Structure 1
């Protein structure tokens, strides 16, 4: 029984299916039918079919055009028909080979001539509709025009060009013309074809045929009497001042009154209807009625009745409906020559205008350069004696080591002069490079830097400090055309090159900046130069700063513009972040902001903040779906080394994540440190900060750490710096902006109206804070809680790393254990980099404490 039931559930074999086919129950055929129906509905099938039709259209048009030039050479071969497809010794000149030549010969020579080109449009229309699976073009309308066009076109071409060697009308055209000529003669056939052309033109364009206006009535001549038409016709009035209209007027339709000085009537038309609709309405019983002015005899009672209805439609007063002579004589017709434009609501006009974020602070004014000072003379001083002495000393030092040069030139900069030399043939560059200290000794210079060779110049450069140095004022750079007319998203004016040219770059393309330099070498001034540049170039709606200042005094001057340019965490009072714990929360909040912005970019279909803001400004994004204008966010960390020492990985990881991903969403980082060591500037940090600035450092190792090249240890300080950008290292003199100048700029901005509150970053809550804030739950404690407590009490060191090493735990579990120990009152609160205080001193006290906890 079991075997029998089991056999019923088995799938039928091929033999079983054969038997069922014989009895008329063929399941396989039914399944194939369903599959074919699904295949026909599949989107891919439609796209393949559409592509096929488009390729056929392209194939035909290419073969037709090629046939026009090669038909004479190929005529003998293609007249043989499809047999040439299998004859490999036959060749044709058509661009699409034998098949193209045969297709063109069939459609052009045998059928419709040149007019056969129209058939390509049919395949194109069908292909486009299939590709997009909707009615982009009307297939039947195109087919109608193609068919009529090929028939008429071939006949007209055959009639106009009957004796040409090329058959312009094709076989069908010649056949039609021969029949017409045999039936109607040459002139009659031409008249019929001309009638076809005229009829098509009238049908397609519907031209208006009008006669000139009637002559004006001579003064004193009696007005003509209205002429009443015969039975079944519309009454016609010859009165020049008659008004003619169509009634009834459809409700809601717009009316236009066309006035012609030469025409004695005013036509009232429905502009939202075609002429054939008017004709159809007349056929269905609509009356053409005439409203006459007083003194003119009405032609028919029917017109009088329709007149009342028309007057009611036009809201004419009751006195005018009854035909009051006095009132109508007193009325004057005012004719507006200008078209009446529809009144659009103000909201619609507002929506058409692009969104401007600066309108929120429409009265905000950017700082002026009058707030800044010019420090000394901006003109570079060239001392000919100094240049000549340095040249002679360089030449003499090189000759002492048997090195001859062919040419030497000098470029004087604000603080450094570049001497370019061309060595003689056969001189090794490395030999000159090794003489750096000897040349510095002969010149009695603080330190020189040899560039061997200068990229793209074919020379060797020797940078020698000037005896008299020139201060580069920030005012000069901000007033220059390079800055004021810059198209950069975030322009920053850093300083001047050795050739005295302004160095202005875009922070958005860097996209992040790493700065390093010893104490007192200009690092803080460089940060102020960058911030002041951005304050001079951007509106508060376009830019926000996140300022991290562990030293607590460097960036505090910018706290006054908190409601203009600064961003901060919710429920925080100070916008300038100085506490390490708040720095960690701020960095993680920036990561959340970055993720949120990427979600908005994904929803908007944009790749970067520039495309997104342009799309939002064009009002193509709905604010109700969370879209908003995104300002740039610039994170500035004044002393990164202090954060790494106190927080370590908790700071490095979010900064590395921001550096890797935040560029596209407009978040840029500027990190400065006075200790460019490998444990501070790690490989992860360096890999994501391609733009780096080095002020004077103490050793070659620090220079290689920050720039991956030497030279920063040879700088002379006081703003002398090297910048590595796009793989090239350039020497600059940093622009100088003093603290009182920064105060003036900040005060100028702070006195203006700002936003009600600062730009708020997303709220970030550390899980550790949540766990530490809760009460101790004995049931929820870790299974290793007591072991960890005994280990901490025995060693009297409340350290998470101790739990990791001794108990072989991960960082997260060891951290949770330490938080539970704090909640239980065994260890004290976190003290930053220091170990926690152990509150229980002996194991006996610990055991008693654990018993109390249960």
Structure 2
């Protein structure tokens, strides 16, 4: 299979002016000029990588020769490299100019010429002394990796350990220089020299020595996890003194119990080297020696190391061979000794076998593995991450806070049922429609009569008799379902004369709600067959609610909120409440520190001002984009998979990852927002409805007026789940449900739920205002978070200009310059980028981005897009930052 990317063509000049004889295209192709295909020096085809690798290898050779020559010629070249005589300014000067500047010997003795002398003086004399040779090793590792595509050592660990070694050896040599000053000053460099002078003045020479010993041992512990154990004394027979004194012979040792949770401690910084971490009982000493001799062990079934890291000696491990690209499969034999140890009997070596899928010389198989602290090890040591731990004492609201309205028993007079049946049959007979069978299903407010018409009766004929049947029954809200989905019947819904109220307590206390495993269960009420109906808001994934005034719409929203409060912990769920009426959702203000989310610096978590609603919706769009970035980094597709990975400690919080709660946006009166804001509200709502389901942001939007100018086609297309209370016209019913029926409802919580092609009639569970207040008080009186969840800061166009006028250079953030360099380096003016890379909070990152805009480094806010970066490279930025510093000096 040919490699991807741009490749050299076989002929750089492709002569297309000579077609084959008899070709029809010949005459047209004669005018085409030869085309020159130049090689593309991009990162994909590897040419640039190879050039960089070759450069680093040559650079390492240059530095090594220059440094070595400097050790012999530094005194002769001191006049040339001295700062007093020009230093680096002498590089391009002639001999006469050097003599005029006071250079005694203008001819350089360094083997690598003037540049070698200046570089050596800079690195060795002025910086780190002979510790600068470590730079040669760094360049070799980088160059070898890029040129030959062979990984000697991890680059990140190499750079980290090299930086420590450079500093440590420079200071250590300077420390020795302080006691023995018989050798030149260049061995430790000016960094080591002045560092020792400073440490000597602060903690003395003895303190400096102790500090160096501590630093060296600390790095050895970090890198190799060395153990500090006193040698254990053994008697002649090999038993412990305590065992001998008690006269007890130790039992056989089971190695499966002795091996800790981390059987292999990988030697960081070393290629293909590992040592097992096993306690050393006396009777397993020979076995320990076998393993330390690196006889490989393992297993029949290969398992990828990246996904599963072994925790016990019986786990499987696959070590990938980078050269042959074939897995080496290693399998341990049982490490159990079930024989009694004897004093005179040597312990047998346990055979260790190596199985390779294809026979290759063992010398060609370098084993490479670097195992960081894995998620399974962290879970085993600390347990799974518990998002509820911050509020571990949180108590869910008890069911006793809710009232039990009614008897919860449906009692319909048998005479009423018989009378309704007779009237339906009589009305149909008037129009020569015969019925084979009729049955009734009694609900809390409506009774469903299912009829099976005689063969040959047209369904449309019965459907057209809806008003006639309503007249004969003298009932309000007759609804005919012809045919009923999934049944060979025609349904006629007739309201009961004495409807039964469905209490919220009876629904929440049902076994169906208590045992549900839904992510966001909402108890909407009871169906026409008197069954509790529970829906999952996370699967809907958004809900559009419509209904005329006084038909139960606000009660339905309260039922949704109370259902979620009874089922979810504050760490798992947050509400964004928008209440243009200013009175409907005020009862939930008491749970602000538990369940609500708001914009930074906002006093009230329940949004009533239209301008703040726009900012909140755009802030949710920013939160949505940030969450998708986190899902992309975690390589998952939805919120559930992401949180499962985070709980199992497979995601690092230092990389910006965090536990993501569900966010439910509830808008109580959407028509008022559309009338006052229009497109400013519709655009973010449409974005959230289209994209936000996968990252756990769900919308519940309610309106009294479901007209086409309020519920636009864009919004309607992204709300497959719609809940309709009674509306005033068939047009409104078709607007919200795409079908009639909502105008035939009887009100007082009677509603139709459309989910896909299903249309379900429900009686909404009733929860009164005092009940909502009791639930809010119970939650609000508990210990909560310090503040509501803060959404990402959103600054409108007008606010951005005013903040720019108030910019004060003296009040600039301490991380201003770091953030500016970060923004220019990535060419992305994003607040979330500053948060992740500099590990800052929402508010501080937002203030820094405002200061960067005021300073002219990034452009103005452009909605959900990243700001424009006004400086193309770091060089121009540094010059600008220097100019900003001048007025302050």
User: Which residue of 619, 644, 658 corresponds with 2:674?
Assistant: 644
Q: Measure, in 1, the Cα distance between the counterparts of 2:739 and 2:552.
A: 20
Which position in structure 2 is the counterpart of 1:357?
A: 387
Which consecutive unaligned segments of at least 5 residues does structure 1 have? 1-10, 15-37, 43-131, 136-225, 227-239, 244-249, 259-267, 280-346, 777-854
Q: Deviations over 1:411-431 (max 9, x none)?
A: 000000000000011111111
State whether residues 379 and 648 of structure 2, in contact with CA within 8 Å, keep that contact through their aligned partners in structure 1: no
- Cα distance in 2 for partners of 1:674, 1:732 equals 19
Q: What secondary structure sits across from 1:563 in the alignment?
A: helix
Q: Structure 1 residue aligned with 2:543, among 513, 522, 525?
A: 513
* 1:393 corresponds to: 423
Distance 2:446 2:279 in 1: 79
Identify if the C-alpha distance between structure 1 residues 275 and 714 changes in structure 2 by more than 3 Å, giving closer, same or farther. closer
Distance 1:359 1:365 in 2: 13
CA shift at 1:533, angstroms? 0.2
Question: Is structure 2 residue 400 aligned with structure 1 residue 370?
Answer: yes
Q: If the length of structure 2 is used for normalisation, what is the TM-score?
A: 0.50
Q: Which of 704, 721, 724 matches 1:694?
A: 724
Contact kept, 8 Å, 2:593 with 2:786, in 1: the verdict is: yes
2:525 is aligned with 1:525: no
1:518–1:675 Cα contact (<8 Å) kept: yes
- Taking the aligned partners of 1:275 and 1:523, their CA distance within structure 2 comes to 72
Match of 1:537 in 2: 567
Question: Displacement, 1:769?
Answer: 2.6
Correspondence 1:613 to 2:629? no
Q: Tell me, in whole angstroms, the C-alpha distance in 1 between the residues paired with 2:534 and 2:486.
A: 21
- Unaligned runs of at least 5 residues, structure 2: 1-11, 16-44, 50-148, 153-235, 237-246, 251-274, 296-376, 807-889
Contact 2:399 2:505 (8 Å CA) reproduced:
yes
1:368: Cα distance to partner?
1.1
Q: Assess, with a 3 A threshold, how the Cα gap between structure 1 residues 496 and 253 changes in structure 2: closer, same or farther.
A: closer
For the Cα contact (< 8 Å) 2:384–2:649, is it kept in 1? yes
Would the alpha carbon gap of residues 348 and 543 (structure 1) be closer, same or farther in structure 2, given more than 3 Å must change? closer
Question: Looking at CA atoms only, which structure, 1 or 2, has the larger radius of gyration?
Answer: 1
Task: Supply the distance in 2 between the matched residues of 1:13 and 1:659 (Cα, whole angstroms).
Answer: 53
Kindly indicate whether the alpha-carbon contact (under 8 Å) linking 2:280 and 2:288 is maintained by their aligned counterparts in 1. Answer: no
Verify: 1:257 aligned to 2:273, yes or no.
no
Question: Which stretch of the first structure deviates more once superposed, 766-775 or 499-508?
Answer: 766-775
For 1:251 and 1:673, locate their aligned partners in 2 and report how far apart those are by CA, in whole Å: 67
Aligned partners of 2:276 and 2:292 also within 8 Å: no
Taking a change above 3 Å as real, the CA distance of residues 619 and 252 of structure 1, as seen in their structure-2 partners, is closer
Secondary structure (helix, strand or coil) at the match of 2:535 reads strand
1:600 aligns with 2:625: no
- Mark the CA change 1:251 to 1:501 in structure 2 (over 3 Å): closer, same or farther: closer
Separation (CA, whole Å) in 1 of partners of 2:294 and 2:778: 70
Q: Distance in 2 between matches of 1:406 and 1:437?
A: 22
Q: Which residue of 2 aligns with 1:661?
A: 691
Query: Could you tell me how far 1:746 is from its partner in structure 2?
Result: 0.6
The separation in 1 between residues aligned to 2:276 and 2:150, in whole angstroms, is 38
Give, in angstroms, the shift of residue 489 of structure 1.
0.4
Secondary structure of the equivalent of 1:573?
A: coil
- Name the CA shift for 1:622/1:441 in 2 (closer, same or farther; >3 Å): same
Deviation at 1:447, TM superposition (A): 1.9
1:560 equivalent in structure 2: 590
Decide whether the 8 Å contact of 1:495 with 1:504 is kept in 2.
yes
Aligned pairs (5 A) from 1:757-776: 757-771=787-801
Aligned equivalents of 2:724 and 2:13: distance in 1? Answer: 81
May I ask how many residue pairs the two structures share in their alignment? 474
Conserved 8 A contact 2:276-2:291: no
Q: Any residues of structure 2 matched to 1:435-446 within 5 Å, and which?
A: 435-446=465-476
Deviations 1:688-743 (A, max 9, x none): 00000000000000000000000000000000000001221010000000010001
CA displacement at 1:257 relative to structure 2: 2.7
**Do the aligned residues in 2 keep the contact of 1:414 with 1:470 (CA within 8 Å)?**
yes
Whole-angstrom distance in 1 between the partners of 2:795 and 2:449: 58
Alpha-carbon offset, residue 255 of structure 1: 2.8
Q: In the superposition, relative to structure 1, how do residues 485 and 592 fare at CA in structure 2: closer, same or farther (>3 Å)?
A: same
Corresponding position of 1:633: 663
Per the TM alignment, residue 348 of structure 1 is displaced from its structure 2 partner at its CA by 5.7
Aligned to 1:168: none
CA contact 2:587–2:773 (8 Å) conserved in 1: yes
| CA–CA distance in structure 2, aligned partners of residues 490 and 13 of structure 1 | 64
Please state how far the C-alpha of 1:771 moved relative to its aligned partner: 3.3
Per-residue CA deviation, residues 573-596 of structure 1 (Å, 9 max, x unaligned), is 000000000000000000000000
C-alpha spacing 1:731/1:627, structure 2 compared with 1 (3 Å)? same
C-alpha distance in structure 2 between counterparts of 1:382 and 1:251, whole Å:
77
Going from structure 1 to structure 2, the CA distance change for 1:251 and 1:700 (only over 3 Å counts) comes to closer
Structure 1 residues 241 and 447 mapped into 2: Cα distance closer, same or farther (>3 Å)? closer
Alignment equivalent of 2:486, drawn from 456, 467, 488: 456
Q: Which residue of 1 aligns with 2:503?
A: 473
Aligned CA RMSD, in angstroms, stands at 3.5
Q: CA deviation at 1:272?
A: 2.0
Alignment partner of 1:272 is 2:272: no
